[in-house]
């Protein structure tokens, strides 16, 4: 359904618009894990997360006719930012549908990138209904945050870059939510090294894909407040691609606690000089907690930096370690 050729094609399609992000050795994490540990800094990507890759590829796969009618997404954050930016580059109209619970800083960021915001209802279902209406009545094209082949191929370009930059890597660790990132990276990396280990990390609170993998089928998982707000939400009961792609390709999954995520955000700041968001911190969290298996050389994908800076400041002071519900309320994307 998707192979390395789709990902190399995606790479060519998006390369003039995205940053080939650095893959840098972390002395602190190599020391603490006992294995060579590198960080793939997608937090330095334009728009603040890797979602720009999938969105750009999806947009550039559209026909001129589709482009003229615009694109729509249901997203509370990083996907909407990526799509807004990509659409503006191509002079395409973009509408982001979201619930009224989205934090203000996220809304402002998306608006600044040029997308229209459509606040539609209380929950994800209502936002989706509005997006479907725009597809039906205005002929817009839906760009899904993870469950579309061009999006998965776009995210997979990260896997290509990692192994191009260091072919010795035998383990890639990354956040797992809808699974677009894991699926794309796994397809790319496996085609270059069939033995490579692919590890997905997510939060203990409401791990949508992990519940589905355990059940062996698509199950509903409630959104739960978490520091890793970009990872909350299920994979969808109508999931077409990512559940089976991830199930076939992932080596293992790991869960991390809210405290471990907070600790990883602090580690990124004080030891790696990086500001990263909770969702991006789960790989580092797993490493610091000693939850990763032995390997020769691993790359941890640090996926984004879009965190409310006051929240970040509080976390650095040791406030709101992920256990304070008021702190969390401000963070939840859903
Ligand atoms: C979307 C996102 C993820 C998870 O990606 P999936 O493809 O949904 O698994 C991880 N980190 C950040 C920062 C994200 O925005």
Return the pLDDT at 222.
87
pLDDT confidence of residue 223: 82
Residue nearest to atom 14 of ligand 1 (CA): 230
Instruction: Please tell me if the CB atom of residue 42 comes closer than 6 angstroms to any atom of ligand 1.
Output: no
Nearest ligand 1 atom to alpha carbon 277? 13
pLDDT value at position 320? 62
CA proximity to 93, closest of 132, 134, 153, 49? 134
CB distance 199 to ligand 1 below 6 Å: no
Sheet holding 141-142, edge to edge: 116-119, 94-98, 71-74, 141-142
Cα–Cα distance for residue pair 68/62, rounded to 1 Å: 10
Nearest-atom index, ligand 1, CA of 175: 10
Mean predicted confidence (pLDDT) in 112-139: 92
**Strands 297-302 and 171-175: what pairing?**
parallel
pLDDT interval class at 321 (50, 70, 90)? low
| Tens of pLDDT, residues 25-49 | 999 999 999 999 999 999 999 999 9
Ligand 1 pocket check for 303: Cβ under 6 Å: yes
Given the CA of residue 177, which atom of ligand 1 is nearest to it?
9
Exposure letters 194-229 (e unless 16+ CB within 10 A, then b): eebbbbbbbbebbbbbbbbbeeeebeebebbbbbbb
Q: Is 247 exposed, middle or buried (0-12, 13-18, 19+ CB in 10 A)?
A: middle
d(CA 164, CA 107): 36
Instruction: Please check the confidence at residue 319 and state whether its pLDDT lies above 80.
Output: no
Give which of 98, 149, 147, 150 is closest to 126, Cα–Cα: 98
* Nearest-5° Cα angle at 240, 252 to 14: 80
Q: What is the mean pLDDT of the chain?
A: 93
- For the Cβ of 82 lying below 6 angstroms from any atom of ligand 1, the answer is no
pLDDT in tens, 247-258: 999 999 999 999
Calculate the alpha carbon distances from 296 to 168, 187, 292 in Å.
8, 21, 12
Task: Name residue 116's beta-bridge partners.
Answer: 95
Token readout for 3 is: 């192979």
- At 219 the pLDDT is 95
For residue 180, give the nearest of 142, 149, 223 by alpha carbon: 149
Answer whether 178 contacts ligand 1 (Cβ < 6 A).
yes
Residue with tokens 């997006």: 131
Question: Does the beta carbon of 26 sit less than 6 angstroms from any atom of ligand 1?
Answer: no
For 224-274, how does the pLDDT look when each residue is reduced to its tens digit (9 = 90+)?
Answer: 889 999 998 889 999 999 999 999 999 999 999 999 999 999 999 999 999
pLDDT score at 1:
86
User: How far is residue 84's CA from residue 3's CA, in Å, rounded to a whole number?
Assistant: 27
Q: Is the pLDDT of residue 322 over 60?
A: no
| pTM beyond 0.85 | yes
Percent of the chain with pLDDT over 70: 96
* Of 121, 145, 312, nearest in space to 241 by CA: 145
Please report, for residues 87, 128, 220, the alpha-carbon distance to residue 135 in angstroms, rounded to integers and kept in the order given.
16, 11, 25
What is the rounded CA–CA span in Å between residue 49 and residue 77? 10
Q: What is the mean pLDDT of residues 143-161?
A: 98
CB 285 within 8 A of CB 264: yes
């Amino acid at each position: 359904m998707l192979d390395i050729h789709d990902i190399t094609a995606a790479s060519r399609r998006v390369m003039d618009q995205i940053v080939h992000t650095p893959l840098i050795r972390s002395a602190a994490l190599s020391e603490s894990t006992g294995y060579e540990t590198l960080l793939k800094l997608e937090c330095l990507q334009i728009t603040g997360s890797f979602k720009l890759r999938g969105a750009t590829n999806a947009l550039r796969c559209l026909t001129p006719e589709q482009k003229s009618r615009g694109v729509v997404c249901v997203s509370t954050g990083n996907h909407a930012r990526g799509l807004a930016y990509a659409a503006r580059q191509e002079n395409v109209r973009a509408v982001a549908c979201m619930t009224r619970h989205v934090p203000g800083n996220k809304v402002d960021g998306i608006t600044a990138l040029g997308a229209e915001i459509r606040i539609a209802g209380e929950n994800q279902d209502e936002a989706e209904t509005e997006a479907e209406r725009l597809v039906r009545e205005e002929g817009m094209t839906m760009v899904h945050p993870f469950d579309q082949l061009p999006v998965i191929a776009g995210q997979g370009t990260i896997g290509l870059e990692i192994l191009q930059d260091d072919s010795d890597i035998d383990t890639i660790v990354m956040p797992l939510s809808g699974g677009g990132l894991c699926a794309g990276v796994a397809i790319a990396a496996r085609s270059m090294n069939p033995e490579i280990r692919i590890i997905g990390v997510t939060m203990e609170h409401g791990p949508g894909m992990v519940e589905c993998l355990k059940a062996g089928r698509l199950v509903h998982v409630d959104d739960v407040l978490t520091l890793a707000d970009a990872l909350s939400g299920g994979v969808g009961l109508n999931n077409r691609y990512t559940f089976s792609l991830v199930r076939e390709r992932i080596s293992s999954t790991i869960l991390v606690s809210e405290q471990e995520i907070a600790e990883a955000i602090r580690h990124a700041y004080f030891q790696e000089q990086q500001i990263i968001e909770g969702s991006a911190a789960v790989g580092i969290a797993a490493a610091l907690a000693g939850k990763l298996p032995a390997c020769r050389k691993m790359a941890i994908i640090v996926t984004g930096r879009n965190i409310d800076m006051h929240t970040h400041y509080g976390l650095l002071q040791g406030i709101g370690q992920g256990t304070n519900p008021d702190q969390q309320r401000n963070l939840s994307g859903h």
